[in-house]
Chain A
Amino acid sequence: MDLSRPGGAAAAAVLAAPGAVAGAAERRVGGKERVTVSGSVRGGVRADLDEIFRRDYQRVVAVAARVLGSRDQAEDVAQDVFLSFGRSSVPAGEARGWLSVAAAHTALNLLRSGRRRASREETAAAADDPVVSDVAEAVVTLEERSRVRAALARLPRKHAVALVLRHSGLSYADVAAALDLSPGSVGTTVRRAESALRKELNRHASSA
């Protein structure tokens, strides 16, 4: 019988968790394939899914791609995130933050699970045309990108998500709201994450 019934909601949630959107329900937001008892969406997907999908799909892909370095995988993540969103009762006004956080969590879970296909990443990375300063672009090699992503997966989850959201263009206020941080602490969190990743780059640079 389904434990997901009454009291079993919790167990079902966790069982479900590993499946898909690993991130969305965790640590305040995440839950791989499945954790929520937001039960107000009856018998299907929410009515505003189409509109919100068209508005935010590109952003969700961009967030996931920043974590994964692969457009293909980012689009897979975006699909899972929107499927979950479609069944949620997240208020429309909070959708953008919710989707961004879920995309970051889900992508980080995928990154951490090591199931990425390296060749795809390399293909995608090779096609990158990032708009960054010349100095940075020259300094960051493909291998270093891989290292940074590996280090990203090891950061405390909140630091990693804050970093990704900030670099995806969310304002400090948006990041604060999405992660339940005070706006003042977003800068500190992002800074610590950047400092940790920079150390990772230096460590390898000096040992190379």
Chain B
Amino acid sequence: MRHPPEGVLRRLLDEPAGVADSDRRHVAGCPQCLDELATIREDAALVGAALATEDGADVDVAAAWQRLSTRAPATAPRLSAPPRPGRSRAVLRRPVVAALAVAVVLAGAGTAAANDWLQIFRTERIAPVSLSAGDLVALPDLQAYGDVVVTGGGDPQAVPDAAAARAQTGIDVPEVTSLPRGVSGEPIYQVGDQVNATFTFSADRAAQAAAQAGETLPPPPPGLDGSRVRLVVGPGVAQTWSSSAGAPALVVGRAVAPTAYSSGVPFETVRDYLLSLPGLPDDVAAQLRTFTADGATLPLPVPADEVTTSSAQVDGVPATVLQTRDRTLAAVVWVDDGVVTAVAGSLDVDEVLSIARDLR
């Protein structure tokens, strides 16, 4: 009879009942297998000893629960948390999102006519802006400088299939032609409505925020108080394939890309003033300024200490590739004709690019 593979011998150590009777009988009478089993047992014991720690019997569960309870409402990491854009205040309070909001405002170009909403920015490209985690915290929350009103949105809604998603959003759901290894099954389809966010600058509010931070607010230019910038994004669709443990293995999403409009003072005035606000790191401000030249590049703030970025092409369109430094997650994002598409997953860069290029 053939010798059982080493995986079976390994299980024999832990769960003999999980090993077939015929294999157990063979091992008991086979000197070669018994030798191998002894080696495997020794390795397992050594590694077990090396990894052993206190058994944890004395952890203070009550204290830990208390700690969690104080963190849970506000600062939960988003590992498994779905983006919840409809909850505008919470969303805008998140540093990353606040940074993006600032960036989009700043990225606009062109002159806004008085009295009327004028398009000042339409996303045509995406480029990463490197930020350290510290910078993200330091970036000003727009709500400190005025009123932010978000309309539309709401939680993403699940829909049964791609056709329903298209019917609700008017967006063609990108079709993934071949799934990467390790990803299977049917995706979950979700749709989100268009979201409008209007930011009204308040000189008083900004002065208070600056004072609280121990800074002096630069004097706002005439006409800025009360002027508004409107951001529009969406609708969009997302399809998510989950692993058996419930975490997403692959996400493919597409949405109408952000567009910004302004009313009141010329946009450059708003932009330059926001750039001068205390809290915006100088190098980030300088980087953001460079994006305004063509008025169409959406800066994507990226925590540089955790994510690396690079460039690629997807069907002839420039794309931004993001990868966590531990190489566990990768994403590619690009904009084509006012539509932003993203492919992300617990995959490597080649895999997400391959999926992106094969989308139909």
- Partner of B328 from the list A3, A5, A22, A129 (CB cut-off 8 Å) is A22
Whether A58 pairs with B57 at a CB distance below 8 angstroms is yes
A169-184 contacts to B (CB < 8 Å): 171-172, 177-180, 183-184
Known: A8-B255, A11-B331, A28-B346. A36 touches B49 (CB 8 A): no
A136-153 contacts to B (CB < 8 Å): 136-137, 139-140, 144-145, 148-149, 152
Give the residues in chain B near A171, CB-CB below 8 Å. Answer: 15
Whether A130 pairs with B52 at a CB distance below 8 angstroms is yes
Known: A57-B59, A167-B51. A13 touches B158 (CB 8 A): no
Separation of A152 and B48 alpha carbons in the complex (Å): 12
Nearest CB in chain B to that of A76: its residue: B67
Known: A31-B248, A33-B77, A66-B53. A7 touches B237 (CB 8 A): yes
Interface of B is mostly: mixed
Whether A66 pairs with B346 at a CB distance below 8 angstroms is no
Whether A14 pairs with B307 at a CB distance below 8 angstroms is yes
Give the residues in chain B near A80, CB-CB below 8 Å. Answer: 77, 79
Separation of A15 and B126 alpha carbons in the complex (Å): 14
- Partner of B59 from the list A15, A27, A61, A66 (CB cut-off 8 Å) is A61
Nearest CB in chain A to that of B193: its residue: A6
Question: Is residue B231 within 8 Å, beta carbon to beta carbon, of the partner chain?
Answer: yes
Most interface-central of A35, A54, A78, A166 (chain B CB within 10 A): A35
Known: A18-B306, A22-B324, A201-B46. A4 touches B246 (CB 8 A): no
Nearest CB in chain B to that of A197: its residue: B47
Separation of A23 and B327 alpha carbons in the complex (Å): 11
Give the residues in chain B near A97, CB-CB below 8 Å. Answer: 245
- A19-B303, A102-B79 are known; give 10 further A-B pairs, CB within 8 A: A3-B100, A5-B83, A18-B325, A23-B328, A83-B68, A94-B246, A112-B326, A124-B54, A127-B54, A187-B10
